[in-house]
Amino acid sequence: MPSGTLYTIAGKDAGGGNTNKWIFGYANSYGGVSNATFFHINNTSGGGVFLRSNAWTPTIGVWYHLAVVKSGNSYTFYRDGVADGTATTTVAVPDSSGTLQVGRAEGAFYWRGQIDDLRLWNVARSATEIAGNRNTARTGGETGLTSYWKFDEGGTSLAAADATANHNDGALGGANATRVPTWATAAGSMSYAGLSFDGVDDYVNVPDAPSLRVTSTLTIEFWGKRQRFGTDIVLEKGGDWTQGDTDYGAGLHSINNNMFYFYFDGGWRGTSGVSDLNWHHYAIVAQEGDVSPRLYVDGQEEPVLYSGGAGTIHLNASTSALHIGAQLGAYSYYRGDILSEVRIWNVVRSASEIQADMDMTLVGSESGLVGYWKFDEGTGLIAAECDCQPQRRRAGWGGGRMHADVDERQGTRVPRRTGL
């Protein structure tokens, strides 16, 4: 971003100068704000102020979730669900007669980039609510939600619909044809498709391949939306951890505070899970011989609170098929939830890498990515893996990709496709 400028996410103003207004955005050197998220208030009867977050510099091409919450005279800024600075002021937010604008303020200060899922509330949202719902689409009927623009119309639409009953619909470019922004494909979890598993006998079968036999360093990532609180296996290779053939497995349980857990040959480790039925991102980073893995929920590392079995992690080179949505074998469990963007890596992914990519779809050829299922086909009995690493081609199947084939032996075992 050029120096000395201010970039508007959203604002309501009656023009430049001393007019009633509020503006939310990012500035690198303006109004006393240096490289920070800001909230500007100007009240003709109370003065003006620039409130700011902690200093940070965005990386071009990376999505960020930004929020500001007003509670009395106190303001809290959030970035990617984490509090990122506080400020106080007695200057009241005015009732501006100006038009609410997205991407510019005072006829200038244009945003350079993409904006998605803009929400205005008339309540002070808690840190837990912001962190828990930032990656989840809202219905529009939530208490306190006064306006909600999903920006998912696409195509040639010149309107941005408000999903609440207030119908504060916006006109792209303010009805000026020369100022119309371009629709972009949303990168966040709200736009993902997925597979819905019935929790009875649905699963996806992925034939064994050498690349899936991860024995040294491992990262597992997925988006999950619980539809119940049971024993819900996300994936496993080698069966139950007690049977001596397990390479790796992941699941969500009803015990131990709805536990999110990882299991391996001879043992398991877990942390407290979520208590809602919203979309959440989960990640596991494990290394052979370590005592415990690193567990992440919505990009934030959580402590290992529960454990059983072996004292160190052993990733056994199992030649069994990979099962998604179920654990098969001596102890069989089926998932009753929705899965999307399932990824397996043979490298250690850092916290920053997990956070940067969790809301993005991948190309499929990223270094260390050995399995990637978007579950975005919509129809059919094949869940295609992305075109990456041609050496994993299954004999008789072309295209340089390995397919995960839904078990076709019984029609009742086919998971339902769902668009989300």
Domain-embedded: residue 291 = yes
For residues 205 and 174, state if they share a domain: no
Residues 282, 357 share a domain: yes
Residue type, 314: H
Which is higher by pLDDT, 14 or 317? Answer: 317
pLDDT of residue 289: 97
Is it the case that residue 265 has pLDDT exceeding 70?
yes
Residues 214 and 259 in one domain: yes
Q: Identify whether residues 203 and 73 lie together within a single domain.
A: no
Mean per-residue pLDDT, 124-137: 88
Residue 1 maps to a domain: no
Domain contains 264? yes
Mean pLDDT of the chain: 84
What is the average per-residue pLDDT within 215-235?
A: 93
Q: What is the DSSP string of 360-375?
A: S---S--TTEEEEE--
Q: pLDDT value at position 390?
A: 28
Lowest mean pLDDT among 24-28, 70-74, 316-320, 327-331: 327-331
pLDDT-derived band at 175 (thresholds 50, 70, 90) equals: low
Asked if residue 359 and residue 229 are part of one domain, the reply reads yes
Tell me: do 172 and 234 sit in the same domain.
Answer: no
What's the predicted TM-score (pTM) here? 0.54
The domain of 283 spans 191-419
> Last residue of a domain, which of 151, 174, 189?
189
Residues 158 and 260 in one domain: no
204-216 residue pLDDT tens: 889 999 999 999 9
User: Taking 80 as the threshold, does the pLDDT of residue 45 lie above it?
Assistant: yes
Could you give the CA distance from residue 37 to residue 16 in angstroms, rounded to a whole number? Answer: 20
Q: Is residue 262 part of a domain?
A: yes
Q: What is the pLDDT of residue 3?
A: 57
Whether 54 and 82 share a structural domain: yes
Answer yes or no: is pLDDT of 396 > 50: no
Residue 258 sits in the same domain as residue 290: yes
Residue where one domain finishes, among candidates 189, 222, 249: 189
Average pLDDT on 311-330 reads 93
Q: Which residues of 98-107 are buried (b: 16+ CB within 10 A; e: fewer)?
A: beebbbbbbe
Task: Write the CB contacts of 406 (distance below 8 Å, at least 6 apart in sequence).
Answer: 203, 204, 205, 381, 382, 383, 413, 414, 415
299's enclosing H/E stretch is none
- Is 288 in the same domain as 338? yes
Of 140, 163, 189, the position where a domain reaches its end is 189
The DSSP line for 222-254 is EEEE-SS-S-EEEEEESS-TTSS---EEEEE-S
| Res 134: pLDDT | 87
CATH number, position 367: 2.60.120.200
Residue 259 belongs to some domain of the structure:
yes
204 and 317 in a single domain? The answer is yes
Total domains in the fold of the chain: 2
Q: What pLDDT sits at residue 399?
A: 24
Q: Is 166 in the same domain as 202?
A: no
What are the pLDDT digits (tens) for 55-77? Answer: 999 987 788 999 999 999 999 99
